[in-house]
Amino acid sequence: MSTSPATSVSDSRYFQPNFLEKVKIIVHLTGLRHKNTVLEKCILASKKNRRISLIKTRATKREQHCNIEHLKDRNQQNWVHFVGVGGCGLSALALIAVKQGFEVSGSDRKWSSFMDGLQQAGVRLHIGHSTLNIQSENGSRFPNCIVVSSAISEDNAEVLHAKSIGIPVYKRDYWLAKLTENHKLIAVSGTHGKSTTSALLAYVLKSMGDDLMAVVGAYVSQFPGGNVIWGDGPHFVLEADEYDGCFLGLSPYIAVLTNVEWEHVDFFQDEEAVKTFFRRFLKRIRVGGHLIICGDDVGARSLLDYTSEGSKPEHASGTMLVTSSDVDGYNIITYGISSTNEWHASSICPNSKGGSDYVLCHKGQPLANISLQIPGAHNVLNSLAVIATVTVLLQGQRQVHELINSLKLHLLDFIGLSRRFERIGKIHRCHIYDDYAHHPTEVYFVLQAARQRFPSMRLVVVFQPHTYSRLAALKDDFAVALSHADHVVVTAVYSVREAVPRNVCGKDLATSIISSPSEYIPSLDDVVDKLALEICKDPLREIVILTLGAGDVNTVGPKLLHELQKRLCIT
């Protein structure tokens, strides 16, 4: 069952059935010219339903009436409140709302680095969730609407209070759908590699003069807005997240699919459930659009036989056309290492910058030599996705060879993004790096990247499992992936979104790693102390410390560096 552009499967968490159809909300979030109509239409459309949606509270009918009247006051600047604003996804939307001229506030349970930029932009921020966050100081004014992160529970105090007084509550997927619907959307999807691919794509396009918009789920030092690029052009590059069905409301002109694998095990029951959502996403591609897909990935490739009901793709010189009863057709372009792909890489080898060099080929014909600073075979694939996308997007404006020559320069200049094999520091011959890898496949590839950059050094990995459910489902795969390190330290599980821990812990993973020495140290502070002690015994030994995980394990590297500097008397 496909969803309409205005809704997704996850909207039901906050809306009564058919609520959007009943009130017929029409929202346009595509630029400053719409900033006054966005929330006015929300308010006018939902006006008839306010009395229905109001639930009994201690407030009197008179107080409720005043609250609603203030929501309809058009003489004040429209106010949007973001719940979970510290996350990479919602922080980007909050920053865009500021650029569009809204009054913006937000809340989260703790401060994050993304909130630094929001504070500088004038966003009113709150630590902790409270009903006081969604009203003015004298209690006479409330937000015109609230946008919530997928990580926010239904019983959040701000969400419950907003619904009780009739303030419209929108999930991130709905807000994104309306934000992008009037752009030529390039949605970068896949189980792994979304952040790097979308960041690299946006960086290259911007460097080539494209006045695009972009939202990436990680901090990018080469972006003026951190994880946002703000422009007035027609193109919008978006990291399209599959969690909670967030990408099912999008209507991309170009969809990039990096790979498909079982992930987010708290939401997807198995790999087939993941594929079902990705198939639905592919049906969202606009007529005449493009699917750019990694032909080397088994999971992604398996979708091609079922992209449309009752028909199979027709192969033609590396490009395939899909037709169905509800879609006139879109082009499918493949990329990968294998020469069977339309765009592929050959002669891959490490370079002096710590990244990779390769020969770019198109339909079997060599076109150019490509160099990257970012290491690993996975980043070769990410760069191929970018090359294929840019040539589709701009081929009508420039010749292919001219495009490739321009692409080469900007691909080489890209230095990566936060928590993607990020260099924390070096002291003597100890190199400290951090990566967001929290899935066995990601762990494997980042360890291979570390081996590529430091082929002869001892590799010590500190791994923090992220969620009990993921560890329980993928423990054996984690053990295999981590065995490529010389020594592994497993910490306690970083648990989010899960009320009850499973019957598994970090110690179980540590004991499952057979091929490499491993140990279980629950506390991150104890990890720092142990590593500092061992490194100080032989400070001139060549060693790489690599911290991995999606939780707060990224605090280990800076603390370790500071501790080593202190113990070794280095300023």
Looking at residue 98, its pLDDT comes to: 92
Residue 21 has pLDDT above 50, yes or no: no
Q: What are phi and psi of 246, to 5 degrees?
A: -60, -30
Average the pLDDT over 42-54 and give the result: 38
Residue 313 has pLDDT above 80, yes or no: no
Residue 439 has pLDDT above 90, yes or no: yes
Average the pLDDT over 357-376 and give the result: 95
What band does 76 get if pLDDT is binned at 50, 70 and 90?
Answer: low
Residue 105 has pLDDT above 60, yes or no: yes
SS (H, E, C) 9-46: HHHHHCCCCCHHHHHCCCCCCCCHHHCCHHHHHHHHHH
Looking at residue 50, its pLDDT comes to: 38
Domain ranges for the chain, please list them.
79-170, 182-307+321-413, 422-569
Q: Does domain 79-170 have CATH number 3.40.50.720?
A: yes
Looking at residue 1, its pLDDT comes to: 34
Looking at residue 108, its pLDDT comes to: 93
Residue 48 has pLDDT above 90, yes or no: no
Residue 64 has pLDDT above 50, yes or no: no
Specify the higher pLDDT residue, 504 or 73: 504
Looking at residue 11, its pLDDT comes to: 36
- Nearest in space to 27 (alpha carbons), one of 41, 15, 45: 41
Q: What angle do CA 10, 11, 15 make, to 5 degrees?
A: 140
Lowest mean pLDDT among 43-47, 112-116, 333-337, 563-567: 43-47
Residue 448 has pLDDT above 60, yes or no: yes
Task: Kindly report, residue by residue over 384-418, the tens digit of the pLDDT.
Answer: 999 999 999 987 777 788 889 999 999 999 999 99
Task: Kindly report, residue by residue over 151-206, the tens digit of the pLDDT.
Answer: 888 889 999 999 999 999 998 888 988 899 899 999 999 999 999 999 999 999 99
Which CATH number does 182-307+321-413 carry? 3.40.1190.10
Residue 290 near residue 333 (C-beta atoms within 8 A): yes
Task: Kindly report, residue by residue over 241-254, the tens digit of the pLDDT.
Answer: 887 778 888 999 99
Average the pLDDT over 502-509 and give the result: 88
Instruction: Return the residue matching tokens 């309409």.
Output: 4
Q: State percent of the chain over pLDDT 70.
A: 81
Q: How is residue 21 written in tokens?
A: 């159809």
Average the pLDDT over 19-42 and give the result: 34
Looking at residue 139, its pLDDT comes to: 74
Q: How is residue 178 written in tokens?
A: 């309306």
SS (H, E, C) 325-364: CCCCCEEEEEEECCCCCCEEEEEEEECCCCCEEEEEEECC
Average the pLDDT over 477-481 and give the result: 95
Q: What is the pTM of this model?
A: 0.81
Task: Kindly report, residue by residue over 494-503, the tens digit of the pLDDT.
Answer: 987 776 677 8
Residue 257 near residue 293 (C-beta atoms within 8 A): yes
Specify the higher pLDDT residue, 362 or 21: 362
Domain 422-569 top-level CATH class: alpha beta
Looking at residue 247, its pLDDT comes to: 86
What band does 571 get if pLDDT is binned at 50, 70 and 90?
Answer: low
Q: How far apart are CA 7 and CA 23, in angstroms?
A: 13
Task: Kindly report, residue by residue over 214-265, the tens digit of the pLDDT.
Answer: 999 889 999 988 889 999 999 999 999 887 778 888 999 999 999 999 888 7
Q: State percent of the chain over pLDDT 90.
A: 61
Chain centroid to CA 120: how far? 23
Looking at residue 19, its pLDDT comes to: 28
Looking at residue 2, its pLDDT comes to: 36
Residue 62 has pLDDT above 90, yes or no: no
Chain centroid to CA 113: how far? 16
SS (H, E, C) 361-390: EECCEEEEEEECCCCCHHHHHHHHHHHHHH
What band does 3 get if pLDDT is binned at 50, 70 and 90?
Answer: very low
Residue 23 has pLDDT above 50, yes or no: no
Looking at residue 38, its pLDDT comes to: 39
Average pLDDT, the chain: 82
